[in-house]
Structure 1
Amino acid sequence: MLNFSILGALQIRTALGPAEISGDLQRTLIQTLLVNEGQSISGESLVEEMWGDSVPENQANALQAHISRLRRKLKSLEPDRTLARVTIHPSGYRLTVHEGELDAAEFINAVRQAELATQTDPAATAKLLGTALSMWRGPVFGDFTGGTLCQLACARYEEYRMRAMELRFDAELRLGRHAAVLAELHEAHSNHPLRERFCEQLMIALYRSGRQADALNVYRLVWLHLSDELGIEPSPALRRVEHAILSHDPSLSPGVASPFALQTA
């Protein structure tokens, strides 16, 4: 069994320890196969991903040489395995990845589980997502994102990470743990100032911590950002949170799930 980690710089772990994939083209090849999560990808797409505009003269042979090299490398990591990890299909090439072997797939599965449990079991949701988020070691693929397909996958995984953070903050606020997540909410909002869900959650955490003026100032700054950078006003949900804070709505009390900010998307 191999463990592929892409929530950070590419890592492959075996029973004997970590393994290296050397060369930019080999890294791009395996990363592209991994983000397809067991689905086939055409040779043309692999060539474009690996070489971009600098396609070699005999691209079919060049690609096959790299496929063979990757097969040998993976075979050396699993000497007892009889079937090759990388296989050819009518629709292209596929890297076999079993359940539990790819951290990104495990992470997405945890987020989907949390979406089902967030309304009924916030404690389990917070624990599940805390564990899932700890799988991230940095940006997907680290500083080596590869071509267009990998970059699109990076954006998709990053959006799942944002969703996981929002769901976890929701769960923690439902449990009345606003003080425990206040610093993390500040950081999330600072890193993503135009993501309104983080703003809603931060405003509620500040309000519950007795900092109404700070909560309203967060709203004011976001309103200015949205107006100046996008030419739009805050969403109805964010405006409802501001109104609830101004009116001291009882639903914003600690331990109470706000009908405004803590709804699931």
Structure 2
Amino acid sequence: MDDEKPIAIGGDRRRATLGLLLLNANREVATSKLLEGLWGTEETPPTARKILQNAVRGLRVMFAEHARGDARPPALLTCSHGYQLQVDPEHVDMFRFHRQAQAGRAQLAAGRPAAAADTLREVLALWRGRALADLVETGHSWAELTALQNARLDVMEDYYEAELANGHHQAVLGELEAMVEAEPLRERACHQLMLALYRSGRQADSLAVYRLVRLRLAEEFGLEPGRELRLLQHAILVHDPSIAAPAAPARPVVPSRLGPEPEPEQRERPVRRMVQWVAPPNADDRSTVSAVLIRADFGAGRRLTDVGAALERTATTVREEVERLGGVVAGSTGSVALAVFRPTSPQEGGGEQIAERAVHAAMSLRRRICFDVPDGERPVLRVAVSTGEIPSRPGAVFLEPLPVNGALLADCESLLRFAEDSEIVVCGRTRALTGSTIRYGREGGLRPRWTVEGRCRDTFAPPEFFDREPELDVLSSLLERVRRRARPHLVLVLGAPGIGKSRLLTAFESRAEDAATVRLNSGVPVTTPHVAKLAEHRPLVVFVDDLHLADNAALRTIEELLELPEPMPLLVVAAARPELFRRRPGWGDGQRHASWMTLEPVTLDPPVEAPREHDLPRLCHAAG
């Protein structure tokens, strides 16, 4: 520019030569580097040096023609290995940009965010579009240009940092969203956008940013987000007070002389913020809480939309199962979800029932997420359960939200790190609280861990129950399928007399605690309206024992139940001897949704003396 008037530089080679020399101003640039910058490594013509010399000569003439008497003109010197463009740093925006950016960073580091924001705003105002945009459009791409663009992005992040420290998250929110969309892998900008969204009351959108950047890092580089981003996600999930918005600096009030002072009710009122005051807890005011950390990883290489839809389905499943067992989903982002189980009544203060509900939820999630999915659709599922105590306020109601202790969540994350696919890993306290009802196995390795294997069997039950766990697990899985698909299903349990069919039905009836149950016999008539009413709010299991003795009317009733026109979560479990098919050959073959289970004889261990009550937990653990 000459007196704010543009100067015609010349052709592309001359402009590119000037641009590369300016990016390295006051430093010698080798001729080989200039040639490579102008033509690349493989396209240099034989006359390249002559063309470069002509461009340098034309630049020198231009500098001489537009020299001003009150300023030192640029000087283009010939050096031993190339050329050097000497300029006054005050006349080049690039030098001013770097110098003032350092001043703004120093103010920010000194704890003066307001001054830093003003300085950095002026620094960014020096930019009028992309640096050397005309050369970029013609295909020139130099390392110096990339470094300068990255320096601009760094200063933009410094500016947003200062404004967030000033409490101006709303003012920079739009700019941050635009920057993250243009530069989705800059984790610092993503961190700032998450913080601005959270402080603006958009917690779900904030966690969605984390989910998106995590998916992109995994898809493109196979990496996890950095520590700072993961810590912020954790803080958002637990509503850490340290990330709350600071108070914005008060604006000075200028008194007006043109009229009376406004009435107090006319003054601008401060914005109300939701503040939770917590009284200092007493030593005895503690509450037992179980945290469940769920991670479902879908394989890399799949389309982003497919992964997003699968994660949404998994999040819905997690919320349904956790809330069904009295828990709360404290946060869900990407492949990770955090659930919290806390007391729902004064009787749960001891913690056993809380921990049991948490482990049962984990087991139910494992069945739903890993059962009956198409090939390649099942995620790598890992679950960790940790139980601890947190302070509670005196007189607080049991349904009131409770914070998640940082140590508790850290324990969950540590357990999850060592879990393998489809494993549910629990801490020592969770195992101690649930050892009488849950069967555990101990795994070795880098860190020994307790893994959930199933429900603990009734020690005083007949010995056949000890060897029917596979059949019970199959029935539980089919009940879960019925719940999800709302479609009737028949399970026909076949076996010889005395093999344990009736006991299996009784055991499953006690296990189906979250479903309605009814037995089909002559004393309780089962009709379609009756069944529809029972299955209105939860799944229904109809048990039929000795089906081979049932009359034709009972068999027709079962067939009608399986062919109901309306969707219904109904599972029919019928036990029969093989004689059924001698009387009614092919019965049940026409049903689309039917399963056959044939019980085989079991080998029973020799009887042992009945254990004492205080030995039960130890024996249950040994059985695992």
TM-score range, shorter chain: 0.7 to 0.9
Give the structure, 1 or 2, with the largest relative contact order (CA under 8 Å, sep 6 or more): 1
Give the corresponding residue for 2:93: 103
Give the corresponding residue for 1:7: none
Give the corresponding residue for 1:241: 232
Matches within 5 A, 1:9-28: 13-15=1-3, 17-28=5-16
Moved more, 84-93 or 216-225: 84-93
- Corresponding position: 1:162 with 2:162: no
Give the corresponding residue for 2:144: 153
Aligned residues: 244
Give 1 or 2: higher helix fraction.
1
- Corresponding position: 1:77 with 2:66: yes
Of 59, 81, 103, the match for 1:113: 103
Give, in angstroms, the shift of residue 22 of structure 1: 1.4
- Corresponding position: 1:127 with 2:113: no
TM-score (norm 1): 0.84
Give, in angstroms, the shift of residue 83 of structure 1: 7.2
Distance 1:208 1:51, change over 3 A: closer
Give secondary structure in 2 for the equivalent of 1:87: strand
Contact 1:126 1:172 in 2 (8 A): yes
Q: Distance in 2 between matches of 1:220 and 1:85?
A: 53
Distance 1:238 1:96, change over 3 A: same
Contact 1:38 1:94 in 2 (8 A): yes
Distance 1:220 1:69, change over 3 A: same
Give the corresponding residue for 1:183: 174
Give secondary structure in 2 for the equivalent of 1:248: coil
What is the identity, as a one-letter code, of the residue corresponding to 1:19? I
Distance 1:121 1:87, change over 3 A: same
Q: Which has the larger radius of gyration?
A: 2
Q: Distance in 1 between matches of 2:59 and 2:89?
A: 21
Deviations 1:181-218 (A, max 9, x none): 11111111111111111111111111111111111111
Of 15, 23, 41, the match for 1:35: 23
Give, in angstroms, the shift of residue 16 of structure 1: 5.7
Structure 1 gaps of 5+ residues are 1-12, 257-265
Distance 1:246 1:144, change over 3 A: same
Give 1 or 2: higher strand fraction.
2
What is the identity, as a one-letter code, of the residue corresponding to 2:189? F
Of 178, 191, 196, the match for 1:205: 196
Contact 1:186 1:202 in 2 (8 A): yes
Give secondary structure in 1 for the equivalent of 2:91: coil
Q: Distance in 2 between matches of 1:26 and 1:189?
A: 36
What is the identity, as a one-letter code, of the residue corresponding to 1:86? L
Give secondary structure in 2 for the equivalent of 1:194: coil
Give secondary structure in 1 for the equivalent of 2:29: coil
Give the corresponding residue for 1:10: none
Give secondary structure in 1 for the equivalent of 2:28: coil
Distance 1:30 1:183, change over 3 A: same
Distance 1:78 1:244, change over 3 A: same
Give the corresponding residue for 1:144: 135
Give, in angstroms, the shift of residue 82 of structure 1: 8.6
Deviations 1:32-73 (A, max 9, x none): 110102101122322332244444435444332221111001
Give the corresponding residue for 2:57: 68
Give the corresponding residue for 1:250: 241
State percent identity of aligned pairs: 36
Give, in angstroms, the shift of residue 123 of structure 1: 1.1
Distance 1:207 1:60, change over 3 A: closer
Distance 1:19 1:190, change over 3 A: same
Give the corresponding residue for 1:226: 217
Deviations 1:99-136 (A, max 9, x none): 21111221122222222221221111111111111222
Q: Distance in 1 between matches of 2:72 and 2:235?
A: 63
Give the corresponding residue for 1:262: none
What is the identity, as a one-letter code, of the residue corresponding to 2:177? H
- Corresponding position: 1:57 with 2:57: no
Q: Distance in 2 between matches of 1:33 and 1:78?
A: 18
Give, in angstroms, the shift of residue 15 of structure 1: 2.4
Give secondary structure in 1 for the equivalent of 2:83: strand
Structure 2 gaps of 5+ residues are 248-624
Give the corresponding residue for 1:193: 184
